[in-house]
Amino acid sequence: MMPKITSGIVRFKSDVYPQKEELFKKLAKRQDPEALFITCSDSRIDPSLLVQTEPGELFICRNAGNIVPPHSNYTGGITATIEYAVAVLKVKHIIICGHSDCGALTAVLNPEKVEDLPHVSQWLSYAKAAHFIVEEKAPNLSPEEKLTMLIEENVLLQLQHLKTHPYVAARYATNKVQLHAWTYDIGEGNIKAYDERSRSFLPVEERYSDYTKDCLGKNDSDCGCK
């Protein structure tokens, strides 16, 4: 694997960097990302590939289960990243994106799988309420159906946790930041986003139809989304 990684660096330096040299020179001095993208550490998720962004457009935070602990006096990497993104970088959007076949959430449904991993077990306790919601709403679903539902309920739960962070709460209350809950189906390449009006997850192209119809076929500078 390392030969592939190191050869990739060589190709980046010889092929990719020269094509985007002007962009990298600009980014060397400052960053101005549009969104904070919180997703799982799963190696199958590539946020920039998923949303087709250039370097500098996403501020990315990853962890097992795309979890956001509720705000507390304990300082952790997730909390610090959120605070910096909102208070300093002033991102306009925060996206929490779950995904299909999530190992972390499979372990939430089957805690015995991680009983010998104390740190993982404790971390996944932040998703326990989502598990309770699934069992309360649909106790008779199959294990596969429960996982699909849990993936959705978990991003909604983490969005609620996000609102407990002071800078997020303040900027959300003044409409300076928008919050988004997404799920990504790896095998199908589909992304769904939660729609508060219908209280359901809709395909991104339907949920954001006003944006996507304006942006298709246009350059970033012309689409008007920012």
Per annotation, catalytic residue among 97, 102, 161, 180: 102
Mode of pairing for the β-strands spanning 190-195 and 200-203: antiparallel
The count of residues in the chain is 226
- Beta strands per DSSP E along the chain: 35-40, 58-63, 93-99, 178-185, 190-195, 200-203
Active site (annotated) includes residue 161: no
Active site (annotated) includes residue 42: yes
Both structure tokens of 144: 């596969």
Closest by Cα among 37, 156, 151, 160 to 98:
151
Per annotation, catalytic residue among 61, 71, 97, 99: 99
Task: Look up tokens 């390449």; give the residue.
Answer: 189
Active site (annotated) includes residue 62: no
CA angle 82, 188, 92 (to 5 degrees): 25
Mode of pairing for the β-strands spanning 58-63 and 93-99: unpaired
Per annotation, catalytic residue among 40, 161, 171, 180: 40
Per annotation, catalytic residue among 32, 44, 46, 222: 44
In single-letter form, the type of residue at position 80 comes to A
23-26 long-range contacts (CB < 8 A, ≥24 apart) are: 23/54, 23/55, 23/56, 24/55, 26/56
Active site (annotated) includes residue 102: yes
Both structure tokens of 184: 């990504």
Active site (annotated) includes residue 99: yes
Positions marked catalytic: 40, 42, 44, 99, 102
